[in-house]
Amino acid sequence: MKFLMVSGANLKIMNGDGVHTWEMARSLAAAGHQVDLVVRGHCRPPGAAPPGVKVIGLPVPKYRLPGKILWPALVLFFVAACLFPRWRYDVFYAREGVFELPAILLLRWLGKKVALEVNTVVAEDLRAKGRTGWLAALAGRAQKRACAAADVILPVTESLADWVTRQGAPARRVTVVGNGADPHIYRPVDMVEARKRIGLPDGRRWFCFTGNLAPWQGVEMILEALALLREELSVGGMRGRFVPAGGREENDDFVVYGSCEACFTHRGDAILPGRRNGSSGVKGAGAAEKLPDAGLLVVGDGPERKSLEKKAGELGLADAVVFTGRTAYEEVPVYINACAAGIGGGWHGPTGASAGRLAVTGSSACKVFAYLSCGVPVIVPDLPGVARLVRREGCGPVVAPDDVAGLKEAMAAVLRDPSCWAKAGRRGRALIEREASWERRAAKVVRIIQGSGKVHAV
C-alpha cells in the first residue's frame, strides 16, 4: 500500500510522538509499503530517511502562532495538490486529527481511506497546561469531528478507545494499537559495560527516567521517592517486614500476581517480589539489610528541567541525580542498560490537571517499551494501558500514581533482589519480541486497514 502520513511531531528531538511517527513510518516501509511522510520543514529528522520513506517538509514558520495557523492550511493545500494529477495513495494516515481536520474532511467526502492515530486527548493536554478556555473547546470539537470522519481509528490505550467511542465513532472502526520499541536498537547490554561507556561511578545502583520532562510526567515524585530511599539507606540499611506471599498482615492486603518463578506480592499499592512457598517477599525479615546506594539518571530534556534540577538540590540529591540533557535516540539504550530499573511517567497527586488528563488517556509510553526491550525491569504508575501489560507479563512493580512511599518501596524491592527482577526484565524483552516491536505494531495496523472495508463518501 501507499501511505500519505502527516505528523506534527518534531523529528529532530525524538520525544514520544516523534519516535512513534518515525518508527511507524520506518516499519511500514520495511514491510514493503511506500510511505510519504509530511512534517513541518524545521522538524525534519537529521540524516537520511530509511528506504521506502520519503520525508516532505512543508514551509511552516517556527513561531508557534503562525505555524499553528499555517499548518492546517498547508496540509490541506498539499493534499488537494495531490488530487489534481491523480490520487496516488491508498491511505491518508494522521495523528490526533486536530490540525489535519480540513484534509480529513476533504478526503472523507471524496471517499478516500483515512486512518487516524490517537495518542492523547488534545483538549485534556491543553487543560493540563492551564488553557481551559476557547482553545481547549475548539480542539475538543475538532478531534471529535476527526474521529467521526476517519475510517480507521487507532488509539494507543483502552482508555482512549473508550473516549473515542464516547465521541460517537462506531466501535467497529476503533482498534487499540499500543506503542512499541525497536528491539534491534534497544537491546540488552551488560550493565557493567554500559556503566563504563557513560562513566558512571561504582558502588551505586541506578534507576532511569527517559523522555520529555513535561509536568504530567511527575518526575518530581520520582525525586521524592529517591530521597526517601536514600534516607533509609543512610541509616544503615532498610528494615524489611515479614510479608508472606499471598498471606495477610494487620492493616495490609496482599494479592499474588503471576504463576512464574518469581511471584509478586502486592502490599498496599506496590507489587513486591514474593515466594511460592510463603517465605518473605523481603529479604532479611525483621533485620536491617545493607543495600547499595541509589541514584537516578534523567535522560532527556523539557520545560521542567530547571525546576527538577532545583528540586534535586533541595532534596540533597545533587550528587545522586544525573541530568544528561537531550540524548541521541540511538544512545539512549546505553543509559537504560546501565540501570537496575526504568521508571515510567505519569506520577501525580489524587487531584489536579495531570490526574484528569491521565485518567482519560491512560499511558502507553514509548519509554516503558524501550526499557522492556533492553531487558530492564520497569516501575510504572497504575494507569490504564501499559500497567496492565506489566502486570500480565510480570515485568516489574506497579504502584499507585500518587503514592511516593509505594514508589520508594518498589525501588527498594529492585535493590533487594536483583536476580528476581532480572528475570522480570527478561520477560519484558520476550514481550517486545513476541508482540510489541514496531514491526509487529505496523503489521497490525496494515491488517486493520486492509480489513476495514470499502470507504463510502460522506
- The series of mean pLDDT values per 10 residues for the chain, 458 residues long, is 92 90 96 94 87 90 67 84 79 88 90 93 81 82 93 95 94 96 97 94 91 92 96 65 32 34 43 39 45 92 95 95 94 97 91 75 93 98 93 95 96 93 96 97 96 53
Question: Which strand (E) or helix (H) includes residue 270?
Answer: strand 270-273
Please check whether residues 279 and 379 belong to one and the same domain.
yes
Please check whether residues 424 and 401 belong to one and the same domain.
yes
Under a CB-based contact definition with an 8 Å cutoff, are residues 383 and 254 in contact? no
Please check whether residues 197 and 159 belong to one and the same domain.
no
CA 353 to mean position of chain CA atoms: 19
Grouping H, G, I as helix, E, B as strand and the rest as coil, residue 146 is helix
Give CA–CA dist 260/296, Å, rounded.
29
Please check whether residues 211 and 169 belong to one and the same domain.
no
DSSP state at residue 287: S
Please check whether residues 219 and 138 belong to one and the same domain.
no
Instruction: List b or e across 147-179, with b for residues whose CB sees 16 or more CB atoms inside 10 angstroms.
Output: bbbbbbbbbbbebbbebbbebebeeebbbbbbb
How far does the chain reach from its first CA to its final CA, in angstroms? 23
Q: Could you give the angle at the alpha carbon of 343 between the alpha carbons of 22 and 251, nearest 5°?
A: 145
Residues 6 or more apart whose CB falls under 8 angstroms from that of 61 comprise 67, 70
Pairing state between β 238-239 and 288-289: antiparallel
pLDDT at position 64 is 65
CATH of the domain at 321: 3.40.50.2000
Q: Which of 319, 435, 431 is nearest to 374 (CA)?
A: 431
Residue 128's φ and ψ, nearest 5 degrees, are: -65, -25
Grouping H, G, I as helix, E, B as strand and the rest as coil, residue 415 is helix
Please check whether residues 290 and 174 belong to one and the same domain.
no
State the total domains in the chain.
2
Please check whether residues 428 and 444 belong to one and the same domain.
no
pLDDT at position 291 is 75
Under a CB-based contact definition with an 8 Å cutoff, are residues 333 and 189 in contact? yes
- For 365, how many CA atoms within 13 A lie in the half-sphere containing its CB? 29
Give CA–CA dist 99/143, Å, rounded.
9
Please check whether residues 95 and 232 belong to one and the same domain.
no
Please check whether residues 160 and 206 belong to one and the same domain.
no
**Model-level pTM?**
0.87
- For cell 559495560, what's the residue? 193
Whether 27 is in a domain gets the answer: yes
Please check whether residues 295 and 427 belong to one and the same domain.
yes
Whether 186 is in a domain gets the answer: no
Whether 185 is in a domain gets the answer: no
The range of the structural domain enclosing residue 162 comes to 2-180+438-450
Whether 380 is in a domain gets the answer: yes
Please check whether residues 67 and 126 belong to one and the same domain.
yes
Strands (DSSP E) found in 83-159: 91-95, 114-118, 152-155
Neighbours of 301 (CB within 10 A): 17
Residue 443's φ and ψ, nearest 5 degrees, are: -60, -40
Please check whether residues 234 and 157 belong to one and the same domain.
no
Under a CB-based contact definition with an 8 Å cutoff, are residues 98 and 139 in contact? yes
pLDDT at position 361 is 86
Distances (CA, A) of 251 to 254, 267, 399: 10, 10, 18
Whether 196 is in a domain gets the answer: yes
Whether 458 is in a domain gets the answer: no
Whether 291 is in a domain gets the answer: yes
